[in-house]
Amino acid sequence: MGNMTSESELLGQDPLKMYIGGKWVEASDGGKLESINPYLQKIWATVPNATAGDVKAAVGAARDAFDNGPWRQTTPQQRAALMRKLGELMTRDAPRMARIESCDNGKLLRDLQAQWRYQSEWMYYYSGLATQPWGEVLPSDRANFFAFTKREPVGVVAAITPWNAPCLLMVMKLAPALAAGCTLVIKPSEHTPVSTLVFAQLVEEAGFPPGVFNVVTGGPEVGKNLVSDPRLDKISFTGSDGNGKVIAHAGAENLTRVSLELGGKSPQIVFDDCNLDAAAAGIALGIFGGTGQSCLAGSRLIVHRSVHDKIVDRLIALAKALKLGDPLDMASEMGPAATEPQFKKILSMVKAAQDEGATVAYGGKQAPEGGFFVLPTILTGVLPDMNIARDEVFGPVLSVLTFDTEEEAVRLANDSRYGLAAGLWTLNVQRAHRVAGQLRAGSVWVNAYRVTAPYAPFGGFKHSGIGRENGREGLSEFLETKTVWINTD
Ligand code: NAD
């Protein structure tokens, strides 16, 4: 367990509690859930395991705050001021929050610190959008009528998040929802519940009214209780496509609006006219960054046959040089898998790929560091109909496929049920535009990978999701449009 005193200082509360209706509460039956530090493979924190009644109370608090509380009467300027304050607190506590998330999911402290330093930008960007005019005057062709639209908050939002970037993915929902004037019940992953509970301390300190932001913790059962509550107006889910379908069904039951940010099997296309060193570095970052546990991991390398060996050699050299180690050590370059099931899944998918005929060019096994560490892995000879080319691994495993023509490259890239992101590497500007236009993916990077920002819409085509986060479109997900006709006669 490490040093308890410093841990309770880090967490700011002992025991950790849920935040419901502006009050700190334990599970009503006293139930607990343990969070395991994947590097130490030890329980490092304990959180409440919400009962069905706790979930009902949280939705009730959010409903009451929306229907009767002061939140809907706030002006956009007042909401924006609170959001800016929260952004400042997020920056102030970035080192602490980064450390908590690293203990929860084993991601590198240095990556999380950078992420946390930037995360406040979501609050600032959406606080700005909150104060922009949202409606429009309609050019009416009816005599004596003045018509206009207003955009109003959708209402009470359930936000469900996965374990790979708990607060960042939550903030991508929270910031636009707050700007819109919604209230929320958040349920973080059972594997990484801690940072969202601690985040609630910042929300309280910023001075948001009770019931605007509520957190319940627990596993899929808690999630199911939440999404089936008919008092919700909207469910915003980030997670696997399998669970996305279950949640879409739950939403359909009550006609609750649903937006989904799901998985990916994103291609990186390497043409023979690219800068090979830059491409190799971008591909390595795209698949080994965050131990590959990223929805936008560039997991399919689609490379022109003539540069296949040159790229693979460079990638092997980069993989070999990666320093695996303690996520809290700033010198580490890759951490462990976040959970034991995830560790086992990665290795079993690599084994299945070998059985299908793929070749392990590098890695493919547990790293000498032991624990949940997997070596960065490069699989060559992958064919488009192999499972390893089709299913999300959510680990540092790159599948290499080859092509001969641009047309074939595009076909292979689009031959996926997913469509979250894609990268392409070429120095030919016409080709860059042509291919970017043909890829069925929500984000396309040319001679780059992984760049995201609060103002840039992000989301998936096909099974990678429904709806968009970030940018103005991300705000629209939390708004209803109302048309008002005024008889001026
Ligand atoms: P997951 O689907 O297992 O769980 C996500 C969340 O849903 C957790 O909080 C879980 O408790 C909850 N949940 C599970 N079943 C539920 C149900 N029936 N009803 C309500 N809630 C339920 O996903 P994960 O393993 O935590 O995360 C990895 C997945 O998330 C990957 O597929 C990854 O690609 C995806 N992801 C997508 C994005 C994106 O923006 N598109 C970002 C990060 C991760």
Atom 9, ligand 1: residue with shortest CA distance: 189
The residue whose CA is least distant from atom 35 of ligand 1 is: 239
User: Which protein residue's CA is at the shortest distance from atom 12 of ligand 1?
Assistant: 220
Distance, CA of 57 to CA of 64 (rounded, Å): 10
Instruction: List ligand 1's pocket residues with C-beta within 6 A.
Output: 160-164, 169, 187, 189-190, 219-220, 223-224, 227, 238-240, 243, 246-247, 261-264, 295, 392, 394, 420, 460, 465
Helix axes 52-67, 220-227, angle to 10 degrees: 40
Tell how far the Cα of 414 is from the centroid of ligand 1, in angstroms. Answer: 23
Nearest CA, atom 8, ligand 1: 189
pLDDT, average across residues 20-44:
97
User: How many whole angstroms separate alpha carbon 268 and alpha carbon 448?
Assistant: 10
Contact assessment for residue 1 and residue 43, using Cβ atoms and an 8 Å cutoff: yes
Contact 188, 199 (CB under 8 A): no
Question: What angle, 0 to 180 degrees and rounded to 10, lies between the N-to-C axes of helices 76-92 and 109-130?
Answer: 170
Q: Which of 322, 349, 348, 350 is nearest to 336 (CA)?
A: 322
Say what the pLDDT of residue 329 is. Answer: 98
Mean pLDDT of 377-384: 98
**Nearest atom in ligand 1 to 227's CA:** 20
Q: Which atom of ligand 1 is nearest to the CA of 188?
A: 9
Span 416-420, average pLDDT: 98
Active centre residues (catalytic): 261, 295
How many C-beta atoms lie closer than 10 Å to residue 368's C-beta? 8
Closest by Cα among 194, 195, 193, 245 to 222:
193
Q: Which of 4-8, 112-116, 293-297 has the lowest mean pLDDT?
A: 4-8
3-state secondary structure the chain: CCCHHHHHHHHCCCCCCEEECCEEECCCCCCEEEEEECCCCEEEEEEECCCHHHHHHHHHHHHHHHHCCCHHHCCHHHHHHHHHHHHHHHHHCHHHHHHHHHHHHCCCHHHHHHHHHHHHHHHHHHHHHHCCCCCCEECCCCCCEEEEEEEEECCEEEEECCCCCHHHHHHHHHHHHHHHCCEEEEECCCCCCHHHHHHHHHHHHHCCCCCCEEECCCCHHHHHHHHCCCCCCEEEEECCHHHHHHHHHHHHHHCCEEEEECCCCCEEEECCCCCHHHHHHHHHHHHHHHHHCCCCCCCEEEEEHHHHHHHHHHHHHHHHHCCECCCCCCCCCECCCCCHHHHHHHHHHHHHHHHHCCEEEECCCECCCCCCCECCEEEECCCCCCHHHHCCCCCCEEEEEEECCHHHHHHHHHCCCEECEEEEECCCHHHHHHHHHHCCCCEEEECCCCCCCCCCCECCEECCEECCECHHHHHHCCEEEEEEEEECC
Give the pLDDT confidence of 130-174 residue by residue, as tens digits: 999 889 999 989 889 999 999 999 999 999 999 999 999 999 999
What is the average per-residue pLDDT within 299-317?
98
What does the pLDDT read at residue 140? 85
Please say whether the beta carbons of 283 and 267 come within 8 A: no
Q: Report the separation in Å between the CA atom of 239 and the middle of ligand 1, taken as the mean of its atom positions.
A: 2
pLDDT at site 2: 43
Distance CA 372, CA 107 (A): 12
Q: Select from 49, 258, 295 the residue to mutate for testing ligand 1; criterion: most ligand atoms less than 8 Å from CB.
A: 295
Residue whose CA lies nearest to ligand 1 atom number 26: 162
pTM (two decimals): 0.97
pLDDT at 336 over 70: yes
Cα of 394 from ligand 1 centre, angstroms: 12
How far from 439 is each of 345, 412, 423, 444, 452, CA to CA, in Å? 29, 10, 10, 8, 18
The pLDDT value given to residue 4: 41
- Which ligand 1 atom is at minimum distance from the Cα of 219? 11
Cα of 262 vs centre of ligand 1, distance in Å, is: 7
Query: Which of 169, 196, 238, 461 is the pocket-test mutation for ligand 1 (most atoms within 8 Å of CB)?
Result: 238
How would residue 105 be classed by pLDDT, with cut points 50, 70 and 90?
Answer: very high
In this prediction, residue 8 carries a pLDDT of 77
Nearest protein Cα to ligand 1, atom 43: 295
Domains of the chain and any CATH numbers? 7-262+464-484 (3.40.605.10), 267-453 (3.40.309.10)
Question: How remote is the CA of residue 384 from the centroid of ligand 1, in Å?
Answer: 26
- Tell which residue, 313, 304, 257, has the closest CA to residue 284: 313
160, 167, 228, 249: residue to mutate for ligand 1 pocket, most atoms within 8 A of CB: 160
Mean pLDDT of 339-368: 98
Residues 6+ apart with CB under 8 A from 409: 269, 271, 302, 304, 403, 435
Token output for 130? 């909150």
Q: Which protein residue has the closest C-alpha to ligand 1 atom 24?
A: 162
Using the predicted structure, report yes or no on whether residue 330 has a pLDDT greater than 80: yes
Report CA(267)–ligand 1 centroid distance (Å).
21
With b meaning 16 or more CB within 10 Å and e meaning fewer, what string describes 108-141? bbbbbbebbebbbbbbbbbbebbeeebeeeeeee
124 touches 87 (CB < 8 A): yes
For the CA of 239, the closest atom of ligand 1 is: 30
User: Is 276 a residue whose pLDDT tops 90?
Assistant: yes
Position in ligand 1 atom list of the atom nearest CA 460 = 41
Closest residue to atom 15 of ligand 1, CA basis: 220
Please state the atom number of ligand 1 nearest to the C-alpha of residue 246: 18
Question: Is the pLDDT assigned to residue 3 strictly greater than 70?
Answer: no
**Does residue 7 register a pLDDT over 80?**
no
For residue 1, the model assigns a pLDDT of 39
Write the pLDDT tens digit of every residue in 450-483: 999 999 999 999 999 999 999 999 999 999 999 9
Distance CA(444)–CA(267), nearest Å, equals 10
Q: What is the pLDDT of residue 110?
A: 97
Average pLDDT, the chain: 97
- pLDDT higher than threshold 50 for residue 447: yes
pLDDT of residue 84: 98
